[in-house]
Chains A and B, each alone.
Chain A
Amino acid sequence: DVKVTQSSRYLVKRTGEKVFLECVQDMDHENMFWYRQDPGLGLRLIYFSYDVKMKEKGDIPEGYSVSREKKERFSLILESASTNQTSMYLCASSFQTRTNEKLFFGSGTQLSVL
C-alpha cells in the first residue's frame, strides 16, 4: 500500500513563527503536492513538485514556500505564520504521467495559528 506520512496530526503555532510541515511518501512517486482544505472552499493547491529540486506554484502560493531535496520528502514552509493560515493541510503524491490524476493523500495536519 502507498503510504504518505505527514509528520504531525495537530500543530499549534503563534503568529509570526516559522512553521515546517513535513511529508514523506514511500512509493517512489515523482509528483508531490500540498493542498489546504477549508470549509466551503474544498481543497486548494498551494505548491507542487514534479521532481527533486523542482517546484511549481499552485493556486494559492502566497505566504508559503516548499522544499524538495529528496524524492520522497516534500516540505511546506510558512515563513511567518498568520491567523488566516489556520487550516487543514494535506500532502499528496502520484506517479508522474501526463494523465495520472490518482493522488494518494496523507491524513492531514490541522494547523492552528494563534
Chain B
Amino acid sequence: DQQVKQNSPSLSVQEGRISILNCDYTNSMFDYFLWYKKYPAEGPTFLISISSIKDKNEDGRFTVFLNKSAKHLSLHIVPSQPGDSAVYFCAASARETSGSRLTFGEGTQLTVNP
C-alpha cells in the first residue's frame, strides 16, 4: 500500500524553464511534507518542507505547494538548472500519531538539458 505516490518516474526540461514535480498521498493523517534530492552515488539531502497549516513554502528557486483537499503537493523549480538533475523524493510524516517517521514516494528522475 503506497501511501505516498510519485506517478512520474522521469521528467525532462530545458534549462531556464520551470520544472514541476508532483506527489499524491492517501493518508489523511499526514501533516508534514518534505522533498529530498538525490544525486548518483550520494545519499538523499533535504531540500524543502511544508506543514499542513500552509499551502505554499518558498526557498529561492524552489517552491512547494500543498493542496490538502486533493491530497496533492508539487515542487516547482524556477529557473531549472543542469545541476538540478537528480532524483527527487517526496516524503510525508504524521506528527500527531507517528512523530517524525517518514514515508517516501518512489522518486522522480529530473533531467535538465542545457
Contacts and interface: CB of A to CB of B under 8 A. Distances in A.
A104 B43 CA distance: 8
A101 B104 contact: no
B interface bracket (residues with beta carbon within 8 Å of A): 20 to 34
Contact of B44 (A40, A100, A105): A105
B23 to A, nearest CB: 11
B106 to A, nearest CB: 4
A42 B102 contact: no
A103 B100 CA distance: 10
Interface residues of A, number: 26
Interface in A91-114: 92, 94, 97-108
Contacts of A107: 41-43
A52 interface: no
Contact of B100 (A35, A59, A97): A97
Interface of A: 4, 31, 35, 40-45, 48, 59, 90, 92, 94, 97-108
Query: 9 nearest interchain CB pairs?
Result: A105-B43, A43-B104, A42-B106, A42-B104, A101-B100, A102-B46, A98-B99, A105-B44, A106-B43
